[in-house]
């Protein structure tokens, strides 16, 4: 299973939380995406782009089910 992860933007600009667990035969996945600012400066673009790249990469991870 993928690892849980938290990704945050500097200055409380936003946060992405990905939590996955297995309990009682069920996979429980929680994904929370929050942007706290409405305006970002041009200087913040590189950090913002990397944040989105990490979010997309995390969401693209696969969960492999095996017959047990």
**In the block, which residue shows the tokens 């938290």?**
6
pLDDT for the residue numbered 65:
85
Torsion on CA atoms 22, 51, 38, 15, rounded to nearest 10 = 30
pLDDT for the residue numbered 66:
84
**pLDDT tens sequence across 10-66:** 999 999 999 999 989 899 999 999 999 999 999 999 999 999 999 999 999 998 888
pLDDT for the residue numbered 25:
86
Question: Using alpha carbons only, what angle is made at residue 22 by residues 20 and 26, rounded to the nearest 5 degrees?
Answer: 110
Q: Collapse the DSSP code of 32 into the 3-class scheme (helix H, G, I; strand E, B; otherwise coil) and give the result.
A: strand
- Predicted model pTM: 0.85
Residues near 50 by Cβ (< 8 Å), separated by ≥ 6?
none
């Amino acid at each position: 299973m993928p690892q849980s992860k938290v990704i945050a933007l500097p200055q409380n600009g936003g946060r992405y939380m990905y939590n996955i667990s297995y309990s009682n035969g069920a996979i429980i996945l929680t994904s929370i995406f929050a942007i706290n600012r409405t305006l970002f400066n041009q200087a913040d673009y590189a950090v913002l782009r990397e944040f989105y790249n990490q979010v997309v990469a995390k969401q693209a991870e696969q969960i492999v089910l095996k017959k047990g």
